[in-house]
Amino acid sequence: MISLKLVHRQLRPSFSTTPRCWQWRQSANATAHPIQVLRRSFSEITRPPPEAPKPKPKASTALRRAASASLPIRSNPTPTRGDIQPIFTYATAERYLMPNLRAALPKDSTLLHDSWWVPRWKDEKSGKEGEVFVFGNGSFVSWGLSEDEALRFADAVIARSSAEVARLKEPETEDLEFVTDPEEDTRLQGDIIILGRTLPLSNEESLPVDLPPSILPRETVLARYAFSQALSRSTALSGLETSLEHYLSSIALLPHALQKTGKPGLGRRALVMKLGELLRFRQGLNLNRENFSDTPDFYWSEPVLEGYFNTLSNALDMKTRIRSVNDKITYAAEMQSVLRELLTETSAHRMELIIIALIAVEVVICLIRDGPEMWHMIFGKDEKAEDSTTEPAY
């Protein structure tokens, strides 16, 4: 017992301040508001600053969901593997007039199948060089350029070329990454493209001989073209999806108005304009040369390049998205067909009323004009007979 008291005397001076649990217990006995004292004691504890909100992912496609497959590439560098570089896709319009781009592009740019290929483009601000593919569907794909550098390319080339047709209200973007490794096979792994060995082409004429030098290996230029075309289609489809969502929002209240008032809520002219806009969506999706459903003719003779194109297209859920857009267009077309039939019935009913009113007016005019004569013709003989019977005999 004596030793415990001695230890207690030695420990008491070591406390510079009373422990928090004792402070709370003493204050709880001394005051009638223990909760306030407890709040004051805990307010002295420093809290970590709130974390910044995480940016929303740009897409929830299968490519994003399979991003874990690229972790071995990112976490296990090899001596032959280059740095991971960005791929940035930018869509500004529904389509480009390709001949109008020639004057604004660098001199070494050349037509490569369905695109303008810019083998070297140097950003004036950062001094970095990259490669760009410009497609007629209103989008371009840059390799090795950051987002800001790609936007400066759009301002310096696309905006000054007067090639944009039906400019988008909000540009659509998509980003990816690539790495070069001559010891690996060219493929898509997760959300990263590996540029390496490629199989021989089926047709030697597919790769032009007089191509200008590029900052990336010449051997994979058509592989980059195939991946770029798949990316450009996805970004252009995103622009169409956004425009269609705005269109569906503009007609979303029509069924409600029809339910409440029994009237379509749109005039004939406005409805026809909406129908024309809807047909333009379907034309852009399925009927244009740069449609989203068919595989480009170029890949029919090049199965290796077709594999690259289809791999990235499937990773971007192109078929599912096209089917979804077509279903939305079909729903909007059916709704507008019902509204058009209602307008037709309303117009037919109005025409019937007008015809009935015209017949009634014609009958009234006929009675006013020919009424006395008809009266005389019908009842005149009876009046003469009555007059002859009433005359006195002499």
Residue 322 has pLDDT above 70, yes or no: yes
Whole-angstrom Cα distance, residue 13 to residue 104? Answer: 83
pLDDT of residue 20: 47
pLDDT of residue 254: 80
Concatenated DSSP letters of 42-75: HHTSPPPPPPPPPPPPS--SHHHHTGGGGHHHHH
Of 88, 58, 68, 63, give the one whose Cα is nearest residue 317. 63
Residue 4 has pLDDT above 60, yes or no: no
Q: Which of 10-24, 247-261, 314-328, 365-379 holds the top average pLDDT?
A: 314-328
Please compute the mean of the pLDDT values over residues 54-63 and round it to a whole number: 47
pLDDT of residue 253: 82
Q: What is the mean pLDDT of the chain?
A: 79
Decide if 327 is inside a domain: yes
Please compute the mean of the pLDDT values over residues 341-352 and round it to a whole number: 72
Lookup: tokens for 303: 């199965």
Decide if 243 is inside a domain: yes
Provide the H-helix boundaries in the chain: 2-11, 20-30, 34-43, 62-65, 71-75, 98-101, 147-153, 159-161, 221-250, 254-261, 268-282, 303-315, 318-390
- pLDDT, one tens digit per residue, over 176-220 is 999 999 999 999 998 899 999 998 888 888 888 888 999 999 999
Task: Answer for the pair 104, 161: CB distance below 8 angstroms, yes or no.
Answer: yes
Residue 246 has pLDDT above 60, yes or no: yes
Q: Which residue has the tokens 């269609």?
A: 244
The torsion angles phi and psi of 215, rounded to 5 degrees, stand at -75, -15
Please compute the mean of the pLDDT values over residues 157-178 and round it to a whole number: 90
Residue 116 has pLDDT above 60, yes or no: yes
Task: Answer for the pair 157, 90: CB distance below 8 angstroms, yes or no.
Answer: no
Q: Which residue has the tokens 């791929």?
A: 87
Lowest mean pLDDT across 68-72, 139-143, 289-293, 369-373: 289-293
Strand partners, 388: none
- pLDDT, one tens digit per residue, over 63-101 is 666 677 888 888 888 899 989 999 999 999 988 999 999
Decide if 54 is inside a domain: no
- Pick 356 or 308 by higher pLDDT: 308
CA dihedral 141, 146, 151, 153 (to 10 degrees): -70
What is the number of domains present in the chain? Answer: 1
Decide if 157 is inside a domain: yes
Decide if 18 is inside a domain: no
Angle at 270 between CA 97 and CA 258, to 5 degrees: 130
Decide if 380 is inside a domain: no
Please compute the mean of the pLDDT values over residues 42-47 and round it to a whole number: 44
Whole-angstrom Cα distance, residue 379 to residue 394? Answer: 29
Decide if 333 is inside a domain: yes
Decide if 176 is inside a domain: yes
Whole domain around residue 95: which residue ranges?
Answer: 62-342
